[in-house]
């Protein structure tokens, strides 16, 4: 098994197609919503994400096949007065899970965050995605708390529009 994690080049049509296919694979998974990417996303995502400042992505390659991806976006920690890197998507093809690919993608994100002088990496995970939570904990991630008396932080959302 020859696993390599390489920065994503969306101007390369083969990489772009692999990336979009992996993202759709994730969206079809119950942990990604179970519905696949919308037609709108399939048509517009490649063009629009390339215009987003602070996007950092990579593909995991195994013997010439893209088997995983990680999408990260730069953010900022006001308390630390330094940048941070948020892992927005991490995907491993179902048939390749449990073989260290997610761990390699997380290591790539950590190296990128260190290159960017980030103070931390952040991510979100569904509470019932126990395999992912175990992987993240083994990689050093922990629930976010400022003070245990105040409790654990929650990621919340408010949908503003749907396509």
The angle formed by the CA atoms of residues 100, 102 and 108, to the nearest 5 degrees, is 105
pLDDT digits (tens, 9 = 90+) for 94-132: 999 999 999 999 999 999 999 999 999 999 999 999 999
pLDDT at 162 exceeding the cut of 80: no
Any idea what the Cα angle at residue 138 is, between residues 88 and 92, rounded to 5°? 45
pLDDT the model gives residue 163: 66
Task: Please check the confidence at residue 1 and state whether its pLDDT lies above 80.
Answer: no
Per residue in 45-55, pLDDT (tens digit) is: 999 999 999 99
* pLDDT computed for residue 161 by the predictor: 84
What pLDDT does residue 91 have? 96
Nearest CA among 17, 24, 19 for reference residue 7 = 19
Q: Tens digits of per-residue pLDDT, 18-37?
A: 999 999 999 999 999 999 99
For residues 123 and 143, what is the distance between their CA atoms, to the nearest angstrom? Answer: 10
Q: Tens of pLDDT along 70-102?
A: 999 999 999 999 999 999 999 999 999 999 999
- Please name which of 55, 119, 52, 56 lies closest in space to residue 84, comparing C-alpha atoms: 119
Pairing outcome for strands 82-92 and 121-123 = parallel
Supply angle C-alpha 134, 135, 140, rounded to 5: 95
- Cβ atoms < 10 Å from Cβ of 143: 11
Q: Is the pLDDT of residue 65 over 90?
A: yes
What the chain holds in terms of domains, given with CATH numbers, is 3-150 (3.40.630.30)
Tokens of residue 44, six digits = 């517009």
Could you tell me the CA-to-CA distances from 102 to 39, 59, 131, 134 in Å, in that order?
Answer: 27, 11, 11, 11
């Amino acid at each position: 098994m020859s696993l390599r994690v390489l920065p994503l080049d969306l101007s390369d049509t083969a990489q772009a197609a692999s990336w979009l296919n992996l993202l759709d694979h994730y969206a079809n998974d119950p942990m990604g919503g179970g519905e696949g990417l919308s037609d709108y996303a399939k048509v517009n995502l490649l063009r629009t994400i390339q215009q987003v400042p602070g996007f950092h992505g990579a593909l995991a390659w195994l013997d010439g096949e893209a088997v995983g991806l990680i999408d990260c976006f730069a953010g900022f920690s006001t308390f630390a007065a330094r940048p941070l890197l948020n892992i927005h998507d991490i995907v491993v093809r179902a048939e390749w899970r449990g073989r260290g690919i997610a761990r390699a993608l997380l290591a790539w994100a950590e190296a990128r965050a260190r290159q960017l002088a980030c103070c931390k990496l952040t991510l979100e995970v569904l509470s019932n995605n126990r395999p992912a939570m175990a992987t993240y904990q083994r990689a050093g991630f922990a629930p976010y708390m400022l003070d245990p008396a105040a409790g654990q932080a929650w990621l919340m959302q408010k949908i503003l529009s749907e396509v």
